[in-house]
Structure 1
C-alpha cells in the first residue's frame, strides 16, 4: 500500500474508532448509517457516499441512505448482476465513469447475507488503489454488520421494554376493548410504517376506533394463511408479489383457545428474523392471555347479571300475581333485558293455540300468523330450537319484517304448554347468550304460569255454578255489597224461565239442563265484562249491572226477553223483575233483591214473557 494511502487509511481507522466509542444512539439503523456515510465522505474526501439495501425479490439494491440530495437518487437501483461473473463468482467492487465523476461501488456481504452496496463518487479516477478499496470494503463490511447487530440488539431491548409496559397495562384492565386498543397502540409504536388488523372469530361489540375484521371461515381463499394461524395456533408468514409486501399472521391465543389472529403487514418484502418472530409471538400470546382474562371477567359479570335477572323475575312472579299480570310483567322484562321489539306468549289448549293477553300488539294482529305458524311447526312438529339471526318469513313491504327471532317452548311435566316468541327487525340482533338466558327465564317461569292458571281456575270454580258457568250466588252477593260501597248506582235483574217444570216433564231433566245452559250463554253474550251473571237458584238467574242506570237495566232485560224467545231450542220464554239503587237513598242489598222479586212475581202473574220494574214507590210493566 502506498505511503499516502496507508496514512489515509490509518487516519480513517482512528476516526472510525473514535466515532464508535462516542456514538450512543444505535436504535435507528438508517440514522446510524447516515452518520457513517458522512464520516466516510469527510475522511476519504469524496463528493457523495450512498448505501443501497438488497431486495432479494427483484435482485437489485435500492437506495437506503445517502449524503447527496435524495430526490436525485430516489429511484436509483443497482443490479446485483453487475457484480456476477459468468462462472458465478462475485466481484468485490465495480468502478465506472459517470457524469458526476468516478463511481466506486463496493459489494458488502457477510457469510449469510448480502448487506448492500456502498457507493462512493469521486472526482479523481486513479485516487484509490484496488488494495485500498478492498481494505476499506473489508472494514466497512465488519463495521456495518456490527452496527446492524448492535442496532438490532438495542431495538430488541426497547421492544421488550415496551412489551413489559404493555403486559402490565393490559393485565391491569378487565375490558376487552382496552386490551385490543393497547395491542394496536404498542404495535404502532414499534413498527410505525406497518399496517395492522385484528381478525376476530366473533365480535358483537362496536369498535369504531379499531382495525377489526371478521375472520372468515369459508370461501375466503385470500385469507388461508390467517385461517391456518387460527386453526394451528402457529405463526404464518406470507409474501405477496402484488402489492409487494410481507404479512405475518400471529394467533391471539390463551389457555382455553384461540380468540383471533393479529395481521401485521410490512409495506415491502421483508425477511423477518427469528428474534422478531419470537417477539411478535410473545406479544400476541400476552394479548391472548389478557383477552381471555377480560372475556372471563365479562362472562362472570354477565352470568351474575343473568342470575340477578332470573332471581328478580322469579321473586316478582312468586308474589301471587294474576296470570295476565304475570304475562305482562314477563313481556316488559324481556323487552327491557333483550331489547326485543315484539314479545308474544302462546298457550296450547288441546289442538287450539291462542295468544295470551299481555303479549305486544303485533301478536294480536293478523300479520303475526305467519310467524306463529312458522315457530309452532319448528317446535311442535320438528322439535327444533328456534334461534335465527336472518329469518325471512314475510316478503310484503306492508308487513314488518322481523329478521331476528328467538322462540322457547314452555314445557311442564314433559308436556308442551305454550311458546314464548321474541322478535327484532335488525338481523343478528340477539346473541346465543341471550337465547340461553331466555331459555332459563322461560323454564323457571313456566311452573309459575301453570300454577297461576290453576289457581285462577280453582278460584273460578269456587265462585262459578258448575252447570251454567255463571257466577255462584255468594259471589254475586259479595260483588253487589262491594259495588254499593264504592259506586253511586246500579241495576239488578231477576230472571225466571217460564214453565220450566213443563220442559222437564216433557223432555226430561237433561234437556232442562241444556235449556238452562242456553239461557245462561245468551245472558253472558249480552252483558258487559264488568257485569255479573249468576245462578240465583233452580231455574232462576240473576244479573247485576254496576254503574248502570235503571233505563240501561230495563233495556238489557228487554233484549234478553227477545233473544231468549228466538234463540233457544226447545223454545222458552223468560220473565224479568228489575230493581235499582242510588247512593243518596237509604237502601240495602236485601231491599234491592226484595223489589226485584216482587217485580218478577208480578211479571209471572200478568202473562209471563215480559219485564216488570219495581221502583222505590211503584211497580210497572214495560
Structure 2
C-alpha cells in the first residue's frame, strides 16, 4: 500500500508540473523529473536517457536492459543499489531511467515495475505534447523564414537567416553551408566552397543524388548529416550538420531540416535569377545604348574610341584594340589602348590573325601561358572576337587582362553580341570615309582633287600666317604618250604622284591640277624651305621614274598682311611654271623672272 501511495505521489507531482508550466521544454521536463524522483525515492542520482535524442552508445546500453533491472555492487565496504526503469510507448522503445541508492531500495521490484509503466504513460503524453509544440514552433519558424526569403534577393541575408534559425532550433549542433558558388564576401558566416573531389564522399553523394546522407562516427562520437540545398532548377550546395556526442535526429526533424534546406535552395535560386535578370537588363542596355550611339554617323576613329571606352569600363580590361587585317599587313585603329600602339605590335597581331582566321572561331582563354600558339603574348586572360565586314574587310576585337581567368564566360558572350551589333557601324564608317576620300581624290593618281585643294588653301590663308604653292608639269608628256602609249603615260603619272606623296608631310596636300599638271600646297612653309622641297622633288622624279621623265615647276608664296588670294597664288605659280618651260624645262621658277633657278 505504501509503495502505491509513493507512486501516486510521484505521478501527482509530475502532472501538477505539467499543468503549472506555460512553456514546457524538454530540458525543463527532464530536470523536473529527475528532481521529483530523486526527492521522493531518496535516490543518490537519477539519469534519464531518451532514445531519439540520445548518443548512439547510450541507446545500445538502454536497449540491452529491456526491463526493470537491479544489481548491487560493493564499493569500499558499502552497498548501493542500481535500478534501471525502461520506458516504452505503444510500439516503440522510448528510453530509460537509471536510479542509484546508497541505502536499501525504497520500493520492491514489483513496485519499480509499476513505476516504469506509469512513467512510460507519462512519457508518451509528454512526447506527444512536446512534439506537437516543437512542430508548431518549427513550422512557424519555417513560415517566417520563407516569408523573409521571398522578400529578400540578397544571398547574404538568405544564408544568415537559415544559420540563425538552425542555431535557435537545434542549439547543440554545428552547421556548415557547402555552396557551389564563390562567396568570398561571406567569411563571417559558416560558408565554404563545395569542392568537387573525393575528400568528402557523403557531401558529394548528397549533391549528386539530391538525397540526405548520414555518416555515423562512433569512434569520434559524432554524427554527420548532409542535406542537399535544392531549388526548382538545380542543387546549389549541401547543408552539413555535425552533432556533438553522436546524437541521432528523428525522422521528423530531418524532414523539417530538409524543408528548410529546400526553401533556402529556392530562395538562392530566386536571388540568382534576380541577379541574372539584372545583368541581362544591364547587358541589353549596353547593347541598345551602343547601337544607338554607333548609328549616329560617327567617323571611324570616333566609333573605335567609343567602343574601347565601353569595353574598358564594362569588362574592366587592361588593354583593348580593334585591328584590321589587310593584304599589306595589320592596322590598329586609332582609339585602341597604348599597348597596341607599339611599333612591334605587328608580331603579336599576326599570331592572333593566324589563330582566329585559321579556326574561324572567337577565342576565349583564361591563361595564355599554357596556350600552344599564343603563349608568348604578354597577357593571361584574352578574348578575341573576329569581325567580318560586309565589304570583305576582316578584323578583330582584342580584349586582355594580366590576371589569369579574369573574364567570365558570360562576359565573353556579351562581348560577342556587342561586336556583332557594332560591326555594321564599323563597316559603314569605313565605307563612308572611303566614299569621302573617293570624292576628294583623283582615281588614277590617288592625289587630292583640285576642288579639295582650293578649299584647303582658302582655309589656310584664313588661319595660318604663310604658305607655299608649287605647280608641276610633266615635260613633253604628249611625246611620252605617243611613244609608249597612254597606258605607260598613266603609269608615269602614278609614279610622279607616288614620289610627291612620299616627299611631303601628312598636313601637306598633293593634288592633280589637270591633265599632266600636278600641284602641292605646303601650309606654314616659308619660301626658302618650299624652294628646297620643290628642288628635291624635281631631282627624285628625274631619277626614279621609268621611263625617265622631267618636270617643270612654278612656285608662289603668300604671307599675312598682304592683299592676297588663292586665285592670285595660282596665277603667280602658273606664270612661274611658264617661265620654267620657256627657260628649257626640268627646272623651277618662283613667281617672277629674277627667281628662276
Question: TM-score, length-normalised on structure 2?
Answer: 0.88
Correspondence list, 1:19-418, <5 A: 19-27=17-25, 29-52=26-49, 60-61=57-58, 80=61, 92-98=69-75, 102=80, 104-110=82-88, 115-203=94-182, 206-217=185-196, 220-240=197-217, 243-350=220-327, 352-365=329-342, 372-373=349-350, 375-392=352-369, 401-412=378-389, 417-418=394-395
Q: 1:200 to 1:365 in 2, by over 3 A?
A: farther
Cα distance in 1 for partners of 2:238, 2:562 equals 86
Cα distance in 2 for partners of 1:334, 1:204 equals 26
Question: What CA deviation, in whole Å up to 9, does each residue of 1:197-240 have, x standing for no partner?
Answer: 333334488444444433444xx123444344334433333334
Cα distance in 2 for partners of 1:516, 1:407 equals 43
How far did residue 196 of structure 1 move?
3.1
Q: 1:383 to 1:248 in 2, by over 3 A?
A: farther
Cα distance in 1 for partners of 2:320, 2:420 equals 16
My pick for the range that moved more, 466-475 or 372-381, is 372-381
Cα distance in 2 for partners of 1:209, 1:110 equals 45
* Residue ranges of structure 1 left out of the alignment (5+ in a row): 63-78
SS in 1 for 2:298: coil
My pick for the range that moved more, 517-526 or 317-326, is 517-526
SS in 2 for 1:221: coil
Aligned residue number for residue 550 of structure 1: 527
Q: 1:57 to 1:144 in 2, by over 3 A?
A: closer
How far did residue 534 of structure 1 move?
0.7
Cα distance in 1 for partners of 2:29, 2:351 equals 72
Cα distance in 2 for partners of 1:370, 1:106 equals 89
SS in 1 for 2:368: coil
Does residue 620 (structure 1) correspond to residue 595 (structure 2)? The answer is: yes
Cα distance in 2 for partners of 1:367, 1:115 equals 83
Contact 2:154 2:271 in 1 (8 A): yes
Cα distance in 1 for partners of 2:367, 2:382 equals 8
Cα distance in 2 for partners of 1:460, 1:204 equals 56
Cα distance in 2 for partners of 1:357, 1:107 equals 92
Contact 2:552 2:587 in 1 (8 A): yes
How far did residue 375 of structure 1 move?
4.3
Cα distance in 2 for partners of 1:368, 1:207 equals 43
Cα distance in 2 for partners of 1:590, 1:393 equals 66
My pick for the range that moved more, 529-538 or 92-101, is 92-101
Question: What CA deviation, in whole Å up to 9, does each residue of 1:253-298 have, x standing for no partner?
Answer: 3333333333333344332322112212221222233333333333
Contact 2:79 2:103 in 1 (8 A): yes
My pick for the range that moved more, 98-107 or 518-527, is 98-107
Query: For the aligned residues, what is the CA RMSD?
Result: 3.3
Question: What CA deviation, in whole Å up to 9, does each residue of 1:384-409 have, x standing for no partner?
Answer: 342233332689xx987433222222
How far did residue 114 of structure 1 move?
5.5
Question: What CA deviation, in whole Å up to 9, does each residue of 1:160-191 have, x standing for no partner?
Answer: 11111111111012334433333333333323
My pick for the range that moved more, 204-213 or 428-437, is 204-213
My pick for the range that moved more, 295-304 or 89-98, is 89-98
Question: What CA deviation, in whole Å up to 9, does each residue of 1:431-454 have, x standing for no partner?
Answer: 222222212211111111111111
The structure 1 residue matched to 2:13, chosen from 15, 18, 42, is 15
Cα distance in 2 for partners of 1:33, 1:368 equals 81
Cα distance in 1 for partners of 2:274, 2:317 equals 26
The structure 2 residue matched to 1:515, chosen from 482, 492, 507, is 492
* Residue ranges of structure 2 left out of the alignment (5+ in a row): none
